Amino acid sequence: GAVVSQHPSRVICKSGTSVKIECRSLDFQATTMFWYRQFPKQSLMLMATSNEGSKATYEQGVEKDKFLINHASLTLSTLTVTSAHPEDSSFYICSVPLANGGNGYTFGSGTRLTVV
């Protein structure tokens, strides 16, 4: 149980285009999802907290107009990288806290974004 499906696993896009990444909870409801970014050989940095039915909460330094988050249902959160640039190339991964973190967290398998 508690499986999170993240798609796509890899995407290559041209500079200036937008890319949508989906994170879907398959067998449970997720009112909160977290989005992380990981640059090569670095740690995971929290970008934003996605809240079902309300606006996402962004971490300091993360551009909300560039990284659009939509959490329209209890099972789906999307991250859209708008007007992507090569510096946005990174590994993006979503995470869902289980029982408010009391049962740990489950992670998507991640999306490798390459902007050319």
Site for another protein, rule CB under 8 A:
32, 34, 36, 41-46, 49, 57, 93, 95, 97, 100-102, 104-105, 107-110, 112
Kindly compute the dihedral angle of the four CA atoms of residues 28, 4, 77, 57, in this order, to the nearest 10 degrees: 90
Is 36 or 75 the residue whose CB approaches another protein more closely?
A: 36
Q: How far is the CB of 116 from another protein (least distance, A)?
A: 18
Q: How far is the CB of 49 from another protein (least distance, A)?
A: 7
> Other CB atoms closer than 10 Å to residue 18's CB: what's the count?
12
Q: What's the angle, vertex CA 20, arms to CA 60 and CA 103, rounded to 5?
A: 65
Q: How far is the CB of 19 from another protein (least distance, A)?
A: 18
Could you give the C-alpha distances from 83 to 65, 70, 100, in angstroms and in order?
10, 17, 34
Instruction: Scan for tokens 């079902």, then name that residue.
Output: 52
Q: How far apart are CA 58 and CA 115, in angstroms?
A: 22
Q: How far is the CB of 16 from another protein (least distance, A)?
A: 26
